[in-house]
């Protein structure tokens, strides 16, 4: 739904902005092919570990969580490094039009800087599903969309009409998701996994 809303706003800003948006969407998901795998591991193995009430299972869940998050950040940093170092080459591959290339250069810093955070979003999603934190996920999305994404998107659509401004709405939403997930997984659930039955901390 967020990507559809971005597409609508980009379409209103002009065809070159919409074209840049479609390219940005593809590059934005660059880490997903790897981090979806990390998320799947977190969901499947995490569900099995959290089904156990042993102390060793809790410690294993904590270790797995930290390793998956490290893998996610590392993957995101690698993607960011590639985007930073090969900016002009990548843009040349995707955009032959000068106006579209200009639009992409305007949003490139956002695309590059957010790769580690995007990777963490994927990994945290898998861990949240393993912990059965579905109510938490629902509340995070409601607050993020209504309190961050929509206000930023509406402001960008009414006043700025640039791809970078429009995509700032997605940036805000993803940063909110990462921050809230860190609080819930690492600060709330993980201490309980280490000290008591993981089932008691959900």
Please state, as a whole number, how many other Cβ atoms lie within 10 Å of the Cβ of residue 24.
24
CA distance 73 to 62: 17
Residue 195 has pLDDT above 80, yes or no: yes
**2-46 tens-digit pLDDT:** 888 999 999 999 999 999 999 999 998 888 888 999 999 999 999
Q: Which pair of tokens denotes residue 71?
A: 């893998």
Q: Which pLDDT score is estimated for 198? A: 40
Q: Taking a C-beta distance cutoff of 8 angstroms, is the pair 128, 184 a contact?
A: yes
Mean pLDDT of the chain: 93
Question: Minimal CA–CA distance to 176: which of 196, 200, 146?
Answer: 146
Whole-model pTM: value is 0.91
The predicted model gives 106-134 an average pLDDT of 96
Counted residue by residue, the chain has a size of 202
CA distance 96 to 31: 24
CA distance 163 to 148: 17
Distances (CA, A) of 27 to 62, 93, 138, 172: 31, 12, 27, 18
């Amino acid at each position: 739904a967020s990507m559809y809303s971005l597409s609508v706003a980009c379409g209103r800003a002009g065809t070159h902005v919409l074209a840049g948006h479609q390219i940005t969407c593809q590059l934005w998901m660059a880490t997903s092919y790897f981090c979806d795998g990390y998320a799947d591991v977190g969901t499947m193995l995490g569900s099995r570990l959290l089904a156990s009430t042993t102390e060793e299972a809790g410690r294993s869940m904590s270790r797995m969580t930290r390793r998956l998050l490290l893998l996610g950040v590392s993957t995101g940093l690698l993607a960011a490094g590639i985007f930073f170092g090969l900016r002009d080459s990548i843009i040349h591959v995707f955009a032959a039009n000068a106006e579209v290339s200009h639009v992409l250069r305007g949003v490139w810093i956002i695309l590059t800087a957010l790769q580690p955070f995007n990777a963490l979003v994927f990994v945290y999603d898998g861990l949240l599903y393993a912990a059965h934190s579905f109510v938490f996920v629902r509340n995070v999305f409601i607050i993020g969309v209504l309190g961050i994404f929509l206000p930023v998107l509406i402001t960008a659509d009414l006043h700025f009409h640039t791809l970078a401004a429009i995509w700032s709405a997605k940036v805000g939403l993803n940063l909110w998701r990462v921050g809230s997930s860190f609080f819930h997984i690492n600060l709330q659930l993980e201490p309980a996994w280490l000290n008591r039955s993981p089932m008691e901390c959900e």
